[in-house]
Amino acid sequence: MQNPFGNGGNGDNDNNNNEGPNGLPVPPNYATVVKEDNGDIRIGKVGFSYTTFLFSFLVPIFRGDWYNFLCMIGVNLGIVLGLYSIHFTSFQTFNFATSILQFALSFVWGYLYNLMYFRHLFNRGFKPATQRSKDLLEKSGYLPKPKKK
């Protein structure tokens, strides 16, 4: 199968990233992690999560990422309850403040969710599946760089 994300059809296999299921190619900004004891494979994007920015809580639900779902709900609930404790002069001002805060939180979750997802996978025993994924995760700060001796 021709790799739509890589070599441009020039036959150069140096940038081969066929690390998806059954050797399918993955985009260059995606990393593959595997749990060695049962062979469970997860593929995720490294960087800003536009899906989390647009759909917020639906992303961890569809990924089965209940830990980060509960973290996101808890932080949002704490912020909203803190907003309710402020006395606003009008309901219109409250709605404006709420909408600005929700938009800002969408950006925060967009930047943080993929990092939180990978870190939780690493805590559950997942490891980068290939050297390309390991390098990408280290370069982006998702995986701690090995300490030099």
Beta-carbon contacts of 105 under 8 Å, excluding residues fewer than 6 positions away, are 76, 79
Q: With contact defined as beta carbons under 8 Å apart, do 7 and 16 qualify?
A: yes
- pLDDT above 70: residue 124: yes
Which residues, in sequence order, are bridge partners of residue 31? 44
Strands (E), 21-143: 30-35, 40-45, 126-128
SS3 for 122-145 is: HHCCEEECCHHHHHHHHHCCCCCC
The pLDDT assigned to 12 comes to 46
| pLDDT at 50 > cutoff 90 | yes
Beta carbons of 92 and 31 less than 8 angstroms apart:
no
- Residue 17, pLDDT score: 66
pLDDT tens digits for 89-119?
888 888 888 889 999 999 999 999 999 999 9
What are the residue ranges spanned by the domains of the chain? 26-130
Is pLDDT of 3 > 90? no
Give the pLDDT of residue 33.
92
pTM for the structure as a whole: 0.80
Distance CA 133, CA 33 (A): 8
pLDDT of residue 15: 54
Mean of the per-residue pLDDT values of the chain = 85
The answer, yes or no, to whether residue 10 has pLDDT greater than 70, is no
The larger pLDDT score, comparing residue 60 to residue 84, is at 60
